[in-house]
Amino acid sequence: MTQSPSSAAAAADGTLPVDAPLVVDSAEAVAWNETVDLLVVGFGAAGASAAIHAREAGANVGVVERFEGGGATIKSGGIVYLGGGTRQQKAAGYEDTVEAMYRYLQMEAGDAVSNPTLHQFCEDSLGLHAWLESLGAKFDSTAPPPKTSYPKDGIYLYYSGNEGVPAFAAQALPAPRGHRMHGSGVATGKHLFAMLRRRVEELKIPVMTQTSVRRLIQDRSGTVIGAEVSRLNPESAAGQRHLKLMRKAEKVHDFAPAWADRLRAQALAIELADAQPLHIRASGGVLLSTGGFIFNRDMVQQHAPKYLKNMRLGATGCDGSGIRLGQTAGGSAARLEKGSAWRFINPPTALPRGIVVGANGERFCNEQVYGARLGVEMCEQGDGRAWLILDAKLRREAMKEAAFGKLWMFQSGPALILMLSSPKARTLAELAGKIGVPAAALERTVQANNASAGGAQADAFGKSKDMRATLDQGPYYALDISASNKIFPCPAITLGGLRVEEGSNRVLNAAGQPIAGLYAAGRTAVGVASNFYVSGLSIADCLWSGRRAALHAIQKTNNTAAQAA
């Protein structure tokens, strides 16, 4: 057995390097430090779900986590996309069905997964809802479900996607499916993950933190039989220094990303210098659930360059290490060009009644769509450049709601700053000159909008009548909502990942054949949320795909044990 190859120098952004697999003649050729049925790599929502379900089914499970756990889940709003007739939906007066949920998600998921798999996801939604409630999740809401980027405290059921947009509502009866866990503040994902962590602890599942997987271990047949992990002793000086650097990096990332990257690089250097290798045997398989790759600048540049200007959303672990590990073992990836950019302009509710134009002075999207849809269209069609055009009337309404509407600070603050600092002009031609778009094109665009708002013609992008407004009261304003705007950041995540066999979540090779012993779940894998993103769909898919992978892996272990007996 060969030793692990020397690693490259610490990456400037803290991206974890991975090595080619260690290939051995057989499992007996390795001096294993530990043996488990299932080794879970990455302790976020997908990894926690996998570990819990495998352990509850009687398997011996081990979890390794490069940091402290939680991943992107604890940075999220804690929304889980659930439908088909949940108790909360019925209490709010909505009779949602599996078929309505399926028809809606067909429009969002596209061909990311097959129709049978998508339908199964919808069929399993009520079971997922019941499982979360059995763990202690509370989703009850007494207020009417709003359409907003994120609901106020006290509201735990809301429209988290495009359900009410005419083009979508025509295909599927709208229903609110964004189920937010009770908890104060914006990032209630931390409450969701805390609940999952408690269950992991109750089941006495060991979690090795400050431990990364640098390479997989395969036998000569190509079966993944374990992994070589690199572990920092949490009690050591190096471990304590690493923990301090990473906590600080996560804390400062949103307002000082370059500083955060320097801290990540320092932490990675400690890992490379001081982490000790261990070999863990995984008789049932290794599950990769380390997130996406938005924090890996090289991968984004190579695969999804249209999202380089966006603010990186998630956690440091979203550096593509799981995807790259899978590829070293022969796995193939897909949809890596897919990203989700979040440009929310509601609330204030008056803003989407304006029009959004690109650098050519023309509209490119229905402004009332969910912010992730608007953001993607902006990055894909307009090179990330866009302006929200308002007249004096709409601006007054939006200013009033932003100042006195009891919105979240992350909603009202940027809106107020944008409206107070945006270019204004007495005429549209003058405004076009200030923002650098063709004056004639902007004037034509506003004229067409006014005609549709007045009922003279249909809206070119299917905007609801109640969301249209004439822009005819100068002065006119142009709010810069471009992806590169530092005052109003446009966060992005990646959606592509390893190709997996849909019934089992086994990683597929280039020929479409499953790699024995290797699984992927969550945003490390292609899944339901790998086309367009709506709030809560990624977490729901993490929980669902983690369960499917784990149960298949331990079924294999159980079958092997039964044959041996």
Q: Are residues 377 and 468 in the same domain?
A: yes
Structural domain count, the chain = 3
- Computed over its alpha carbons, how large is the radius of gyration of the chain? 24
Asked if residue 307 belongs to a domain, the reply is no
Asked if residue 383 belongs to a domain, the reply is yes
Q: Are residues 422 and 557 in the same domain?
A: no
CA distances from 200 to 40, 139, 405 (A): 12, 21, 40
Closest CA to 286 of 29, 552, 560, 562: 552
Could you read off the pLDDT of 65-110 as tens digits, one per residue?
Answer: 999 999 999 999 899 999 999 999 999 999 999 999 999 999 999 9
Q: Are residues 503 and 472 in the same domain?
A: no
Q: Are residues 524 and 452 in the same domain?
A: no
Q: Are residues 209 and 335 in the same domain?
A: yes
Indicate which CATH number applies to the domain containing 287. 3.50.50.60
Length of the chain: 565
The pLDDT score that the predictor gives to residue 493 is 96
- Whether the pLDDT of residue 429 is over 90: the answer is yes
Residue that terminates a domain, selected from 160, 180, 200: 180
Q: Are residues 197 and 325 in the same domain?
A: yes
Q: Are residues 204 and 66 in the same domain?
A: yes
Segments in 141-225 forming alpha helices (H): 166-169, 189-202
- The DSSP secondary structure of 6-48, one letter per residue, reads PPPPPPTT-PPP--PPEEES-GGGS--SEEEEEEEE--SHHHH
Q: Are residues 353 and 458 in the same domain?
A: yes
Give the strand pairing for 207-208 and 61-64.
Answer: parallel
Asked if residue 303 belongs to a domain, the reply is no
Asked if residue 301 belongs to a domain, the reply is no
Instruction: Give residue 124's domain range.
Output: 79-180
- The 10 Å CB-count burial string (b at 16+, else e) for 82-93 is bbbbbebbeebe
The enclosing H or E element of 430 equals helix 428-435
Residue that terminates a domain, selected from 416, 448, 480: 480
Q: Are residues 417 and 547 in the same domain?
A: no
Asked if residue 488 belongs to a domain, the reply is no
- Whether the pLDDT of residue 286 is over 70: the answer is yes
Q: Are residues 285 and 396 in the same domain?
A: no
Asked if residue 253 belongs to a domain, the reply is no
Q: Are residues 368 and 455 in the same domain?
A: yes
Could you count the other beta carbons within 10 Å of the beta carbon of residue 98? 17
Q: Are residues 500 and 380 in the same domain?
A: no
Indicate which CATH number applies to the domain containing 364. 3.90.700.10
Whole-number mean pLDDT of the chain? 93
Asked if residue 474 belongs to a domain, the reply is yes
Q: How far apart are CA 52 and CA 98, in angstroms?
A: 26
The pLDDT score that the predictor gives to residue 381 is 85
Asked if residue 258 belongs to a domain, the reply is no
Could you read off the pLDDT of 139-166 as tens digits, one per residue?
Answer: 988 887 877 777 888 889 999 999 989 9
Could you read off the pLDDT of 483-496 as tens digits, one per residue?
Answer: 999 888 999 999 99
